Structure 1
């Protein structure tokens, strides 16, 4: 299959969210005079992961996720906080995080001009746009689609319908989605009727019922994959 359109997830695919999140949490904890420890970071990430998974299943709203994660975390520390105000500060710090996944910039430099490139990401719009701009990745993309702007989130079919309707002369058979999440990206892409490429640097095993079209462990492998489709020579 020869592809003309590439849809990229960003967190854990092009941008190093773990590094950014750790830096933002350290700043937030310092503001609250709370010592950063690996245990506290792990506990926050567990709370956050559970809430985001519930959002992907349509069980909670985005506003509930970004507020309740801090309310829950600080309650375990014996503190009552305003979740929305806490999230505003966290988002400010998060938006300053521009760490790249190895090979991300080089990959986009190779792809630009050969493909139409789009971002498809869950998250808060101003945060994601700030991170893409700060990292220097924004100019490589024809358009950036953030779940907050669409009113839907991956893996919802409505999110992808929104995106497809806004890509000129969109053809699903010529479109490839690249992302790290089996649920948001791979399941979302499969349900939307497009090919998928699972970015799997940790070499995890996908469940038998969820099979991506391709799997790569390093971003540069995407170039080899695409060369086989005769778009890059």
Structure 2
């Protein structure tokens, strides 16, 4: 391993698409929405529907990060726009219902990636652990409860609670202070999103492990270590314990 793990005082993990298969749950929940509310949306294939949702949702999350939208607005407005309507002029009464129903279905489809429990257990044998998420507060706490992680993480940092989103350095500094770590280089962060997780943590002075699910090529990657799966990460942590 290229990292000196004996110097690491806390290992923080990203949540969505690192521990929990967010993209898979999102896809299945959108399929449920289209089946349940077929008349609310312009006729299209699921591929077109999901593609349009992603464009709208990604933009609105950027607006949320910039303080241009609230979390509650995002939950509803993304479906209003998906209907081909304007959130400010002709929002239908069904939009709130659909937004809430989507989140319920999304929760039904939560699944862990292979190797997650092993990686968390191995990390806990090395040092203390924590969680940092840009997700909705209720969703994050719901996932912690669903997977019985109430005692797994020593520190939990949620952007909606602290008012700062990754990749802003402020959320990483907050997490470092929460863990009582003086030097940023003594923190390791594991995440899947290159910009929000790896660049954000690296610029804050942290060590990083990039969970690169799809083998994206980054010739000048800022990550200290790159793995293709949580199973591979678990094996790395376990090999450190045997050294």
- Hey, what's the Cα distance between the residues in 2 that align with 1:197 and 1:19? 22
How much does 1:13 deviate? 0.7
SS in 2 for 1:188: helix
- Hey, what's the Cα distance between the residues in 2 that align with 1:46 and 1:197? 28
2:80 pairs with one of 56, 62, 71: 71
**1:26-68 Cα shifts (integer Å, max 9, x gaps):** 3333332358723312321232123334545x37334354343
The count of aligned residue pairs is 228
Q: Is it true that 1:45 corresponds to 2:35 in the alignment?
A: no
Aligned partner of 1:130 in structure 2 is: 142
Q: Is it true that 1:16 corresponds to 2:21 in the alignment?
A: yes
User: Which entry has the higher C-alpha Rg, 1 or 2?
Assistant: 2
Q: Which runs of 5+ in 2 are unaligned?
A: none
With normalisation by structure 1, the TM-score equals 0.84
**Of 139-148 and 34-43, the range deviating more from structure 2:** 34-43
Change (3 A) 1:164 1:92: same
Aligned partner of 1:60 in structure 2 is: 68
How much does 1:146 deviate? 1.2
**Of 63-72 and 139-148, the range deviating more from structure 2:** 63-72
Matches within 5 A, 1:191-230: 191-206=203-218, 208=220, 210-226=221-237, 230=240
1:70 and 1:81 in contact (8 A); partners too: no
2:190 and 2:210 in contact (8 A); partners too: yes
- Hey, what's the Cα distance between the residues in 1 that align with 2:84 and 2:223? 40
With normalisation by structure 2, the TM-score equals 0.81
Q: Which runs of 5+ in 1 are unaligned?
A: none
- What's the Cα RMSD here? 2.6
